[in-house]
Amino acid sequence: MEKRSDNDHPIHDLLARRWSPVAFDPRPLPAAQIATLLEAARWAPSCFNEQPWRFIVASRDDAAAFETALGCLVESNQAWAKNASLLLLTTTKKTFTKNGKPNRHAAHDVGLAVENLVVQATADGLIVHQMGGIERDAIRATYGVPEDFDILTGVAVGYPGDVSALSESLQERQNGARTRRPLGEIAFVGRWADPFRP
C-alpha cells in the first residue's frame, strides 16, 4: 500500500513516498540489506563529526534477540512491531568524545542518521516506523547501555504487510490520512509567528 504525501510544493519522490505504516510482512531481511541501512545511517552529518549515534540491532533471523528487543517496546507498539523484519533501538552519546563537554546536538544528529536510514529503506522498497513508545529503563538494564548514553527511540523496518490482518483500530491508523501543518505555522520570517510566504 502506498500513501504519498499531499504536498503543496515539489519534493523528492522518496520523501513523498515515505510514511509510517504499521502493517508489516514478517519476512527476514538479508544481512546485507541491514548492513546497507546502517551504512546509510553511518554517513549522516553530525556536530564536530562526533557521530554520537549507537544502534541496538535485532533481526528476525535471531528469534531470541528479536523477542528481547520487542519486549523493550510499550505494549501498544508490540502489537504491530512483532511483524517487522528488524527492530532497532537508538541511543546517543551525551558528551563530546574530544573534551567531555555536553553535546546539546546529539539527539538532533541521531535524527539525521535515522532519516538517512529511512530514505535508504524507502529507496529499497522497505517501510519504516519510528517509535517513542519504548521502555528506556528496561533497555538500559537489558543491554547494559552506559550512563553516558541517552536512550531515544525504537525503529521497526521491514516489508509492507497485509492491512486486513491488523486489528480494527490499527487498520484505521494504517488507512488514516497523512497530514502536516501548513508552512506558515512552521516557518517564520522576521519575528516569531510571522509566517514565511513563498
Per-residue pLDDT tens digits for 31-53: 999 999 999 999 999 999 999 99
Residue whose grid cell is 513508545: 133
Whether 14 and 120 have beta carbons less than 8 Å apart is answered as no
Strand partners, 27: none
pTM above threshold 0.85? yes
- The mean predicted confidence, pLDDT, of the chain is 97
* Span 159-181, pLDDT tens digits: 999 999 999 999 999 999 999 99
Categorize the per-residue pLDDT at 2 as very low, low, confident or very high, splitting at 50, 70 and 90. confident
Arithmetic mean of pLDDT, 111-115: 98
Closest by CA position to 15, among listed 23, 3, 33: 3
Domains defined for the chain, CATH in brackets = 26-162 (3.40.109.10)
Q: What is the mean pLDDT of residues 141-154?
A: 98
Asked if 160 and 24 count as a contact pair (C-beta separation under 8 A), the reply is yes
Q: Comparing 3 with 88, which gets the higher pLDDT?
A: 88
Give the mean pLDDT of 80-96. 98
Share of the chain above pLDDT 70, in %: 100
CA distance 149 to 152: 9
Nearest CA-CA partner of 62 in 35, 39, 31: 31
Which cell is 83 given? 511483524
Q: Is the pLDDT of residue 1 over 90?
A: no
Amino acid at the residue 139: I
pLDDT at 183 over 80: yes
